[in-house]
Chain A
Amino acid sequence: MTHTISMTVNGNNCTGEVESRTLLVDFLRDHLDLTGTNIGCDTSQCGACTIMMDGSVVKSCTALAVQADGSEITTIEGLATNGELHPLQQAFWDEHGLQCGYCTPGMIMAGVGLLGDNPNPSESEIRHCLEGNMCRCTGYQNIVKAVQTASQSMEGGA
C-alpha cells in the first residue's frame, strides 16, 4: 500500500509516494536525495541519522516516513543559512570535532537540539545528551568542546 505524504524539509515543500514501511531516513535519502543524513545502524543506537522534526531531535531510522506527514523537518543540509555555517557547524570545524565525518550530521543535529533546549549546558550535560550518538573516530572530546564553543558563540551573538 502506498501513501502520498508531504512535509516541509529545510523550508521546501516536498511530496512523495511511499510504502507504509518506508523509513523516514530512506525517504529523505532515496526520494529527496538528501544524503547528508547517514545510516549507521539498524537498532536506533548510533544516531547517525539524527534530524529535527517539528523542533524535536529524532532518529530518522526509527520513524516511518508516513509519521512525518505534515511535519517540518530540518536536516544537516538545511542548517547553514546563505552560505554561512551554523555556529555549531563552525565550532565542529574550529575544534576538530570530526574525522571521517560519518557521524557528524547526526551529532550536529543532536547538538543543535541540545543547545535549543539548554543554551548553556555543562560538560556533563553535553556528554549525557550525546550518549545516543556514537562516534568511532574522535573519542568525543572535541565534539564536547565544539558544543561548548558553539554555546559561547551563540550566547555572544544573541
Chain B
Amino acid sequence: MGKHIGKSVKRVEDPRFLQGQGKYVANIKLPNMAHVAVLRSPHAHAKINSINTAAAKALDGVIDVFVGQDLIDGGVGKMPVIWQVPDNKIPDRWPLTPDKVRHVGDSVAAVVAEDPYIARDALDLVEVDYEALEATTGAKATTEDGKPLVHDEIENNISFKWGLGDREACDKAFEEADHVVKLDLINQRLIANAMEPRACAAQWIASTENMTVWTTSQNPHIIRFGLSAVTLPMLDEHKLRVISPDVGGGFGSKIFHYPEEVIVPWIAKKINRPCKWVATRSESFMTDSQGRDHVQNCKLALKSDGTITGLYVELHADMGAYLSSIAPLIPTVICITLFSGLYKNPGIWGETTGTLTNTVPVDAYRGAGRPEASYLLERIIDVAAKELGMDPIEIRRKNFIGKDEFPYQTPVAFLYDSGDYHAMFDKLEENANYQGMRSAQASAKEEGRLVGIGVSGSVEASGYGPAATVGALGFYGGMWEHGGIRVHPTGKVTAFTGSHSHGQGHETTMAQIVADKLGIEVADVDVVHGDTDLVTQGMGTYGSRSVAVGGEALSNAAKTIRKKLVTLAAHLMEVSEDDLVYDDENGSVQVKGVPDKSKAFGELAFAAYSGHSLPEGMDPGLETSAYYNPGNFTFPSSAHLVQVEVDKDTGEIEIQKFVAVEDCGNVINPMVVEGQILGGIVQGVGQALYEHGVYDDDGQLVSGSMLDYTMPRADNFPMIESDRIETPSPSNTLGVKGVGEMGSITSPPAVVNAVVDALSDYGVKHIDMPLTSEKIWNILQTNGG
C-alpha cells in the first residue's frame, strides 16, 4: 500500500453525476443541429423489393431521407470484424442494408429532420416493400439441412469452427475414467441494457475538412481507426476526432463499431450540419449486440475419488445475423482457454461452431466467453459431486491448482500467473459459516422447506492482453495501452489515459496511481480520457484491462517524470543524482540525509518550464508519454457461496445469503473494487434467475422491452457479503488483476447450483437459466409426486 494506492478515496467524478452534470452524448446540443432517426426492420428475414421515401421527404421539417444504396454510392465501407478466427466466413454488413433484412431491427433507412419528433414521424412514412422470408433461429438448429440461409454464400449457416486443447489426452481420459458425467446446457441469450442507450452526434467543418464524432463507446480510438480506415474512408484519421464523454455503462455492448457511428457522420457531412441520433430503449433491444447464447454439450471424466482427468465440450454459439466487431473471439479464444478453471485437468478439449441466425448479432457482454466457460465447468463439477456423493467444496478442493504450482500451464494455452484457491475457499467457508449453513439447511429440510446451498469458483483471464499473443489469436490491433503525464508549471498534473471509464471510476483510481508514483496529492491530478484529440492513442476498456494495462502505462510514465525531476534537481543543487532521494510523501527531491536541502515538486516543475538552468542536453518542459504492452494476462479468481429458498407454492426463489471472496491481486481503491464486485454479482444473478432474450421461431424478439425482459431490481437481493484475498500478480509492477467481470462470471453457477441443491429431492439434475418461478413451479408440480 502506498500513500494513495490501497485507500478508498471517494470518487472525484461523482459531484458532476450527483448534480445532473454528466456529459452524456444525448445532452449534446450544437447550433443548427439536425436529428437522425433510423428505420428498423420489423421482419427477421425479408427481401427489400423497393423503398419509397417520397412521402417521408415531403413531411414538413424533414431535411432528407437516405437508404442503403445512397450510403454505398457515397463511399461508406462495410462494417469490419476486427477479431477473426481462421477460416471464418464473414458475411457482408452495410451500415444501412441495401437489399435484404436479416434480423428484427436491421437498419433500412435514415431520416434527418429539424426535430427528433418529426424524424420519428417520418419513419412511419417510409414505404418499404418487403418480401418476407422464412427465418432461422437456434444456435444448433440453424445448422440443419434445409434451414433458410441467413447469407446465401454461407453454407449451413456455419461461420466458423474452432477447437483448442489436447484431444489425445482428452480421449485417453475418457477411455480410462472411473466415472463420466454428461451434461447438456443452454447459456441463454442476454441483452446488456446499459442504462444509457447508445447515441451518436457528429459535426463536419467543411472549410477545414475536420469531423468530430461523439459516440457512446468504450474505446473511441478504435472507433476512430475503424471509421477512417474502413467505414468512412473519405475521412482522414488525423482530422477525425472521436469523443466518448461520460458513457452511462457499457458491459461490452459499447465496444463495437455500430452502423449509426457511420450513418450519423456521413449525413452530417452530406447535409453540412451537425447531427445527432439517440437510441430509444426499443432500438437498444434490437440493435445493441447481445450476449451469450450457447448450446453446450459437455462430458467430465473423473477417477472414483473425484480427481478430474478430462473435459470434453462441444459448443454451438449463435452469432446472430452478422458478425459483430469482435464476435468470433467470444465463444472461442476467450472461452475455451478457461475450461481448466481452478483445477488441474490434463485432458481438455473444446470445440466451437459459430453459427448464424436471423437474430440480433451476439458479441462480448460482461464476462464475454468466460461466464460461458465457468458456468459449464462449475455446473458439471457440481453434478459430479452429487453423483460421487461428495461435498461440492470437497471435490473442488481435491482438484485445485496449489498455490506453489504457479505459474501454472493449463492444457488450454494459458499460463496462470498467481493464486491461492485454498486460501480463497478457506475465507469463503469461514465468512459464510459453511458448516453452520449446512446444519441449518438440514433442519429446514426436516421442516419441509426447500433450502439449497450452492458454491462456485472461477478464474478468468483479464488485462487483455499481450499484443503479439492477441495478434496470433486473431485481433487486428495490439492490446497495449497508452498513458501520458503532463506536469504543469505550477506542479499540477494532467494524466491522459487510453482506457475509458464508463462507470469504473478511472478518474479516481488512475489519479491515485499517478499521485502515488509522483508523491503528490490526488486532488492535484486530473485524469483525461475518451477524446482522441486529447489522448494520443488508446485501446479502451473491456476485458478487465484498465488498471492492469492502462494503470501500468501511467505508472511507467510517472517513472520517466521522476527520473527527469531527479536529474534536474541534481543539476540545480549541484550534487550527484546518486546522492539524491525522491520523497514519495511530497514529491520533493532531497539530498540523502539532509532533508532541508531539497527541491519541491512545484519548484522543479517551474524550473523545467522556465528553462533558465537545465542540464546539458535536457529539453524544457515536463511531460511524457508511455506505451505499455503487457507480458501476460492476469488471472483473478473468485469464490461464491449462495443460500436460496424455493417457495413450494409459487416456485419463487429467494436469495437468503450471498457470500463472495475475490482475488484481484493488489487493489488500488477497495471501495471501487467492491463496487465492481457487487455490480457484477447482481448482473450474474440476473442471468441465473431473470434475464432472457427470447426469440420466437419467426425470429421475433419477444422480450424486446423492459416490460418483457426482466432486469434485476433492488428488491431481489439481500446484502451481499463481499471480501477479498490478495495474491499480487507478477504480470505487472502494480501487482493488480482485473476485477470488472469476476462477479458476473462466478455468480450464475453458484445460484443454479443452490437451486438444484434445494430441489435435490425432486430428482432434478439440471435446470437451464433463467430459473423463473414458472419453470420451478412446473418442476415442483411434475416431480412433486
Contact = CB atoms under 8 A, between A and B. Distances in A.
Nearest to B28: A35
A89 B281 contact: no
Contacts of A37: 20
Interface string B249-287: 101000000000000000000000000001011100000
A43 B704 CA distance: 11
B714 A144 contact: yes
A99 B504 contact: yes
B196 A100 contact: yes
Contacts of B16: 101
B397 to A, nearest CB: 28
B717 interface: yes
Given A35-B27, A40-B195, A93-B10, A101 B681 contact: no
Contact of B19 (A33, A38, A80): A80
Contacts of B706: 41, 43, 45-46, 134
A96 interface: yes
A142 interface: yes
Interface string B1-40: 0000000001101111111111010110100000000000
Interface string B235-249: 000000000001111
Interface residues of A, number: 58
A141 interface: yes
B294 interface: no
A143 B714 contact: yes
B720 to A, nearest CB: 6
Contact of B196 (A29, A92, A102): A102
A131 B715 contact: yes
Interface in A85-109: 85, 89, 92-94, 96, 98-105, 108
A76 B20 contact: yes
Contacts of A150: none
A141 B282 contact: no
B679 A89 contact: no
Given A36-B22, A42-B281, A89-B19, A142 B675 contact: yes
A77 B22 CA distance: 11
B670 to A, nearest CB: 10
B96 interface: no
B11 A39 contact: no
Contact of B720 (A39, A99, A100, A139): A139
B680 to A, nearest CB: 8
Contacts of A105: 17, 20
A102 B16 CA distance: 11
Interface in A17-60: 19, 21-22, 29-30, 33-43, 45-46, 48
A136 B194 contact: yes
Contacts of B505: 99
B719 A123 contact: yes
Nearest to B682: A139
Contact of A39 (B18, B26, B194, B247): B26
Contacts of A35: 20, 24, 26-27
A96 B720 CA distance: 15
B281 A137 contact: no
Given A42-B281, A128-B715, A99 B679 contact: yes
Interface in B639-685: 671-672, 674-675, 678-683
A112 interface: no
B713 A101 contact: no
B773 interface: no
Nearest to B281: A41
A73 interface: no
Contacts of A98: 14, 17-18
A31 B419 CA distance: 55
Contacts of B27: 29, 35
* Best-buried of A29, A46, A77, A101 by chain B (most CB within 10 Å): A101
A123 B13 CA distance: 27
Nearest to A107: B714
A108 B17 CA distance: 11
B406 interface: no
Contact of B705 (A43, A77, A137, A143): A43
B248 A134 contact: no
A138 interface: yes
B20 A34 contact: yes
B250 to A, nearest CB: 8
A108 B682 CA distance: 20
B49 to A, nearest CB: 30
B21 A103 contact: no
Contacts of B678: 138-139, 141-142
A39 B714 contact: no
Contacts of A104: 17-18, 22
Contacts of A45: 705-707, 711
B117 A79 contact: no
Nearest to A85: B18
Contacts of B682: 138-141
B711 A134 contact: yes
A42 B26 CA distance: 15
Interface string B190-226: 0001111100000000000000000000000000000
Contact of B503 (A34, A100, A133): A100
10 contacts: A33-B29, A36-B19, A40-B195, A40-B197, A45-B706, A76-B18, A94-B10, A131-B714, A138-B679, A138-B682
Query: Nearest 6 A-B pairs (CB), nearest first?
Result: A36-B20, A101-B17, A102-B248, A100-B503, A139-B682, A99-B503
Interface of A: 19, 21-22, 29-30, 33-43, 45-46, 48, 75-77, 79-80, 85, 89, 92-94, 96, 98-105, 108, 123-124, 126-128, 130-131, 133-144
Given A100-B195, A137-B679, 8 more contacts: A34-B20, A38-B24, A39-B26, A43-B705, A100-B246, A102-B22, A128-B715, A130-B713
